[in-house]
Structure 1
Amino acid sequence: MLRHGVADVLVEGAVTGRLSLVTLAMGAGGLAVRHINDAGHWVFTRLAGLDMASGLRTWSAFTTVMGCVGCALTAVIRTLVQRSPPLKGQLSER
């Protein structure tokens, strides 16, 4: 319920390009703070042959790096999108 209210304010009146960037940023942020109940943690730990503590340390570091890289790439894409001229018929976001 809270996320919907926050996201509503972020995307109110936004055009398609901005909505795509918000979606990418939210996905990257959600990836960075995974929980131990995440199925990927258990699959990774079992397949890598790690004990739970080592698997948790490795998985937490891995998902945090993936989330930060995702946020950085979203920021780079945002700069590229802002510099490109709007397509014919699109509203300008500037």
Structure 2
Amino acid sequence: MHRARRDHTAAVLINGEVLVAGGFNNGAINNAELYDPSTETWTTINSMNDARGEHTISVLTNAKVLVTGGLGYRGFQNSTELYDQSTGNWTRMG
């Protein structure tokens, strides 16, 4: 990984890559990275809208990734975000 972190989440995507998102490093962080096991390389991708750690991550049947809750700068996060790997964008869902 390019950025040290703890209390992050990781999920295996439909294409076999691993998405690592958020966590803590001297506070909550919003950055995300993809690991490609076929090339053993890490790529930094667009950051989430909200910094969070101790959150949940789910790969949906449409290949998008839902990140929910967790802890942020001001305590508990009640927001959700959707990552679309085809566009590389995070969208706030609520």
Q: Same fold (TM over 0.5)?
A: no
Report which structure shows greater RCO (CA 8 Å, sep ≥6): 1
Which structure has the larger Rg? 1
State the TM-score, normalized to the length of structure 2.
Answer: 0.21
Structure with the higher helix share, 1 or 2 = 1
